[in-house]
């Protein structure tokens, strides 16, 4: 009997995958992040300080008293009530998910599939990736040279019509630029009711801004917030949307059942009962950011861009070299030089005072090379 060689299982599997997976997903690159080990992690805009130890202990104690064999509260109502009270927002307009990235996807599902996704360029890549994978028609409007919104260009784009989803980070990521309320209003007022207008306020504690009142004015607007930055809880994975009750109700339909674990709900509730640390630490980060920007204001070859977030852009003559140089000093930052307008740019998170001192020394040395 002659045996016919079988194609390898891996090859067969790949062949099936090619036709079974939607082309929009296949052609979209994976989220661009490669973890790198380094002593000083200034690459992900996390809080430099961990969730306070006393609160961690309190959360663990509460967890001990919970039933781990039971599903969590379906829609995390207690957590939503606490977020509502903290934000001064009707609980019916709060939606929680494991990270605000998930809400970005759900908002794209809500208003963007087969329709438009409009954002700026450069941008936070998740808006773009979700839009592409969900088959939206993606438009990116370049920012002004100072990284502010090009109001007229945005208005022109919106005048072409929806329906769709408009994503605007305030402060902007990855530049750290905060638009004035009047510029932001001029853009979002130009969006008709067939647009879902998303103001992503992931970093608002570092700019002292709060554009919730703009969201309150119209039922098609959403503010996105996260526990990953100023709350010091990136490992928890929790983000939330603040919207009108009707939009929130429809968004909630897209949230999978039991999507926020008991552990996450308990820790976030503890945080919301003791929110004082967030303000204090955000103020410290702002102070450190401004100190660094002041000390870097005399650079000759490099340039530190002003920022209203817990990170700033450092423009260098050669991003690959600057990245490697900083890494050789144990300082891990994030390259941003592949985006338009960000040639040579690295993004640096604000760290502890000690980490920031090391960064300053290394950058001044780099500038003097
Ligand atoms: C502008 C912006 N929005 C949203 C997020 C996502 O945050 P989360 O950790 O809540 O998914 C980030 C994270 O870096 C961000 O920079």
Give the Å distance between the CA of 23 and the centre of ligand 1. Answer: 26
Give the Å distance between the CA of 90 and the centre of ligand 1. Answer: 23
Give the Å distance between the CA of 351 and the centre of ligand 1. Answer: 18
| Residue to substitute in 226, 233, 312 for testing ligand 1 pocket (most ligand atoms within 8 angstroms of CB) | 226
Structure tokens at 313: 């852009």
Whether the Cβ atoms of residue 260 and residue 325 lie closer than 8 Å to each other = no
Q: How far is CA 269 from the centre of its chain?
A: 21
Beta bridge mates, 335: 346
Does ligand 1 lie within 6 Å of residue 202's CB atom? yes
| Residue to substitute in 43, 101, 211 for testing ligand 1 pocket (most ligand atoms within 8 angstroms of CB) | 101
Does ligand 1 lie within 6 Å of residue 99's CB atom? yes
Indicate which residue's Cα is closest to atom 7 of ligand 1.
Answer: 100
| Residue to substitute in 126, 147, 170 for testing ligand 1 pocket (most ligand atoms within 8 angstroms of CB) | 126
CA angle at 197 for the pair 119 and 252, rounded to the nearest 5°: 115
Structure tokens at 358: 């090391």
Whether the Cβ atoms of residue 120 and residue 142 lie closer than 8 Å to each other = yes
Structure tokens at 291: 């100190």
Query: Rounded distance, CA 242 to CA 119, Å?
Result: 20
Task: Give pLDDT, residue 1.
Answer: 40
Question: How many secondary structure helices (H) and strands (E) does the chain include?
Answer: 14, 13
Give the Å distance between the CA of 229 and the centre of ligand 1. Answer: 8
Does ligand 1 lie within 6 Å of residue 349's CB atom? no
User: Atom of ligand 1 at shortest distance to CA of 228?
Assistant: 9
Structure tokens at 73: 């509260």
Does ligand 1 lie within 6 Å of residue 228's CB atom? yes
Percent of the chain residues past pLDDT 70, beyond the cut:
95
Query: At residue 313, what are phi and psi to the nearest 5 degrees?
Result: -90, 135
* Mean pLDDT by groups of 10 residues along the chain of 369 residues: 46 65 93 89 97 98 98 95 98 98 98 97 97 97 98 97 97 98 98 96 98 97 98 98 98 97 98 98 98 97 98 98 98 97 98 98 97
Pick the closest to residue 31 from 129, 167, 138, 137 (CA basis): 129
> pLDDT (tens digit, 9 = 90+) per residue, 324-354?
999 999 999 999 999 999 999 999 999 999 9
Pick the closest to residue 317 from 340, 296, 347, 346 (CA basis): 346
User: Atom of ligand 1 at shortest distance to CA of 44?
Assistant: 14
| Residue to substitute in 102, 104, 173, 178 for testing ligand 1 pocket (most ligand atoms within 8 angstroms of CB) | 173
CATH class held by domain 26-50+277-368:
alpha beta
First to last CA, the chain: 73
Task: Give pLDDT, residue 3.
Answer: 46
Sequence ranges of the chain with CATH classification 3.40.640.10: 53-273
Query: Rounded distance, CA 108 to CA 256, Å?
Result: 15
DSSP state of 92: G
Architecture of domain 53-273: 3-Layer(aba) Sandwich (3.40)
Query: Rounded distance, CA 120 to CA 1, Å?
Result: 65
Pairing of strands 331-332, 40-41: parallel
Whether the Cβ atoms of residue 166 and residue 198 lie closer than 8 Å to each other = yes
Query: Rounded distance, CA 132 to CA 113, Å?
Result: 9
* Order of strands, sheet of 345-349, starting from the edge strand that comes earlier in the sequence: 303-304, 311-315, 345-349, 334-335
Sequence ranges of the chain with CATH classification 3.90.1150.10: 26-50+277-368
Q: How are the residues of the chain apportioned to helix, strand and coil, as percentages rounded to the nearest 5?
A: 45, 15, 40
Pick the closest to residue 167 from 111, 206, 210 (CA basis): 111
Does ligand 1 lie within 6 Å of residue 101's CB atom? yes
Does ligand 1 lie within 6 Å of residue 199's CB atom? no
Structure tokens at 59: 């959360």
Give the Å distance between the CA of 368 and the centre of ligand 1. Answer: 34
Pairing of strands 311-315, 331-332: unpaired
Indicate which residue's Cα is closest to atom 3 of ligand 1.
Answer: 202
Query: Rounded distance, CA 268 to CA 254, Å?
Result: 22
Q: How far is CA 233 from the centre of its chain?
A: 13
Task: Give pLDDT, residue 18.
Answer: 74
């Amino acid at each position: 009997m002659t045996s016919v060689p079988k194609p390898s299982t891996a090859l067969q599997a790949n062949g099936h995958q090619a036709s079974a997976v939607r082309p929009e997903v296949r052609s979209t690159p994976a989220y661009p992040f490669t973890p790198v080990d380094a002593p000083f992690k200034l690459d992900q805009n996390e809080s430099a300080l961990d969730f306070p130890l006393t609160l961690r202990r309190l959360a663990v104690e509460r967890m001990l008293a919970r039933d781990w064999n039971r599903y969590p509260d379906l829609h995390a109502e207690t957590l939503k009530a606490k977020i509502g009270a903290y934000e001064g927002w009707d609980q019916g307009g709060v939606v929680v998910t494991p990270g605000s990235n998930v809400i970005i996807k759900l908002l794209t599902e809500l208003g963007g599939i087969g329709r438009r996704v409009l954002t700026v360029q450069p941008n936070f890549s998740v808006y773009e990736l979700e839009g592409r994978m969900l088959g939206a028609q993606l438009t990116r409007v370049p920012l002004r040279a100072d990284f502010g919104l090009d109001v007229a260009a945005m208005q022109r784009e919106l005048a072409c019509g929806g329906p769709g989803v408009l994503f605007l980070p305030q402060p902007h990521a990855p530049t750290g630029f905060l638009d004035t309320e009047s510029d932001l209003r001029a853009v979002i007022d130009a969006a008709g009711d067939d647009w879902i207008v998303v103001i992503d306020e992931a970093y608002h504690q570092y700019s002292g801004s709060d554009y919730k009142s703009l969201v309150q004015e119209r039922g098609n607007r959403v503010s996105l917030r996260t526990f990953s930055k100023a709350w010091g809880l990136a490992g928890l994975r929790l983000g939330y949307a603040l919207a009108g009750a009707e939009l929130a109700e429809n968004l909630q339909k897209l949230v999978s059942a039991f999507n926020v674990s008991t552990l996450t709900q308990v820790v976030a509730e503890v945080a919301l009962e003791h929110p004082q640390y967030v303000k204090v630490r955000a103020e410290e980060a702002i102070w450190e950011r401004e100190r660094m920007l002041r000390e870097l204001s005399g650079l000759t070859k490099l340039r530190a861009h002003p920022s209203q977030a817990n990170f700033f852009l450092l423009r260098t003559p050669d991003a690959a070299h600057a990245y490697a140089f900083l890494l050789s000093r144990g300082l891990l930052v994030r390259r941003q030089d592949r985006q338009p307008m960000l040639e040579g740019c690295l993004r640096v998170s604000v760290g502890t005072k000690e980490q920031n001192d090391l960064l300053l020394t290394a950058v001044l040395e780099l500038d003097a090379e």
